[in-house]
Structure 1
């Protein structure tokens, strides 16, 4: 890039220095400079240049772009913390880059703070905001989301300490919350992605979730009919109601009903016929 060429030219045009005396054989060679130190030094130089340029000019935009590219490893490092969210890493890095640009525009090198220290909270905050506002299929309360982060962290710590996955009670005891809250947090953590009800279940060889969730209740059609019969029965005289109940709910024969009520079987038959006639005339569906 142009800024690299400028730095190289500057270094090559510097006045020559006297050659240092040859080091003794037993002297250890100096350790090579790390990439992180080179990036910090380059960032400091570029911010010094940026401060002297007027915003909006081509030169200002060029130096600003160089700062962004030089600090992209910081964004990748921050994005790696969210790898377990099953979101495309390219999208997370793109969102983190927005946070990096905001940090560059707000950074003041005169405050004596290293730029990575200043930029990291801004980059991570932008990524978290992206997950909170755009990724979740079901939005959960903010308190539950923040508690879910604590549950996640406690789960990792207890897994390392115990060498196994901790129980709900152990997590609740660690955070001093109820087990119901832990379960709610775990359920909230599943709201990032929704699975289609028609999607086949991987690995178990079973049909889709939709085929296993519900079934056709054969008694469902009778709900409306039972409600209608209940409405019509209360319109009959009490003795006729009793006869119908004995005949069709207790499954008694007409002779058994006549013995139960102390009337003739013929009279029971006439009462049943009259009850049916009244029910048909009062049936609002047939009407």
Structure 2
């Protein structure tokens, strides 16, 4: 039997296209698309939890104003995404799962593996990972203004952070349509067929573009 939590996650993931549609309205207004998308995802989650189908209203009709409200709030807050308690708690669970997996297998878990392990949607996992990234500095200043190393109980945090930053930089340098494809596929957990529908193209074209983009990203990361 499918649990309510699983159905909720599947429903949220199914409607991520609404977030992309709403976030796209605010491109070029001074806030990065990733932050617009993160705020929109929070709005989608709120809409999902507050939706009452007995009122006879289509979900998209109800959800779009809620998503737009969260994005507009982002501008009022100066571009800062306020992280909910549930996202923070998921971030802690993700860190624990990653460390456990690393100790057992010596490899980093993918977003998909984390989602399956924690019974969460890939989008929620990606959002929690992104929200936790700027939470602390690796080299804060002490009272004398000198850098000191913070003791963080993870394996090679500097290398992990550097890898993430490098990946984000390479991704940000891609054309907008290529960024959207990669984010749908590997951050949003979408299949090639779903991505093709959202981007109004075919699965074959998505497959070809994806291989080409990943090859380019790999070359840039290796060159860096």
TM-score class, shorter: 0.3 to 0.5
Structure-2-length-normalised TM-score: 0.34
Structure-1-length-normalised TM-score: 0.27
Q: Which has the larger radius of gyration?
A: 1
